[in-house]
Chain A
Amino acid sequence: MRIGVITFPGTLDDVDAVRAVRLAGGEAVNLWHADRDLHGVDAVVVPGGFSYGDYLRAGAIAARAPIMDEVVVAADHGMPVLGICNGFQILCEAGLLPGALTRNVGLHFVCRDLRLRVESASTAWTGAFAAGQEIVVPLKSGEGRYVADAATLAQLEADGRIVFRYVDPAPNGSTSDIAGIASANGRVVGLMPHPEHAIEPLTGPSADGLGLFTSVLAAVTSA
């Protein structure tokens, strides 16, 4: 299974995402923001960082990069897409996920390991978990406060599309302690914390994050 990892100018976490894909047993394929070719990958990871220096809004310029046109078309056909941190911001800006990520309450950049609850195991990226399971992964962001209008929030809740919640009160002030959400078909997932930094005990607080990458390999294989 080939999993693409996109690099934009200012992306930081593409190398860790590639490692996570490999450790999960997939073949990682580097994708470049200016390309209009997904090189036949089966899924795409949009990794974290500060694409285009967060100019205009976090993720706003990257969401209009040539590669994202291809990602949007592929996602419309059901390809699994995972956005992590800046990648989550990019997917919201690209219209693949509803809502927006805004400046943390209190303006603090939050960088720490924290507990997440997996609210839905029915997405392409969370099938290896059990609903209600708690995992430990790092959060490192200054604009991670999820917001959406009341109707959107009610829809996400009713459809089971809130995928991850902060177990302790969200350190960024995120609405309803939301850490991650999914598209209506459960193939596109975005979250602020970093599963790719928690794939082995040597370098991370846990190996819990690996589950997202093994999940998508299973989802793609069974599709």
Chain B
Amino acid sequence: MARVVVDVMPKPEILDPQGQAVAGALHRLGVAGVTDVRQGKHFELEVDDAVDDDTLHRIAGSLLANPVIEDWRVTRA
């Protein structure tokens, strides 16, 4: 068994109003120096060693992320 991490982020050109709201809250809290926030998702999968990288990318690209609006990165921990 291995832990695999999949990080999913909105594509750079996709407006992220949730990230904007977080950035606005930081500004109101008086935090200086944070110019932008992007909000994504972090998945942790427990995976048999037999599952290959192609399968992991298929899982990420067909379900965990929507390729129309999101990019993803698969990392074996």
Contact = CB atoms under 8 A, between A and B. Distances in A.
Interface of A: 56-57, 60, 64, 92-93, 98-100, 102-107, 145, 147-149, 173
Interface in B19-63: 21, 63
Q: Which of B15, B18, B21, B66 has the most CB of A within 10 A?
A: B66
Given A60-B66, A103-B17, 12 more contacts: A56-B63, A57-B66, A92-B68, A93-B66, A99-B68, A100-B66, A102-B15, A105-B15, A106-B17, A147-B14, A147-B15, A149-B68
Contacts, number: 33
A60 B59 CA distance: 13
Interface residues of B, number: 10
20 contacts: A56-B64, A60-B66, A64-B63, A93-B66, A100-B69, A102-B14, A102-B69, A103-B17, A103-B18, A104-B17, A105-B15, A105-B17, A106-B17, A107-B17, A107-B21, A145-B15, A147-B14, A147-B15, A148-B68, A149-B68
A100 B68 contact: yes
A99 B67 CA distance: 10
A147 B66 contact: no
Nearest to B39: A103
A104 B14 CA distance: 12
Q: Which of A56, A104, A105, A148 has the most CB of B within 10 A?
A: A56
Contacts of B21: 107
A43 B35 CA distance: 50
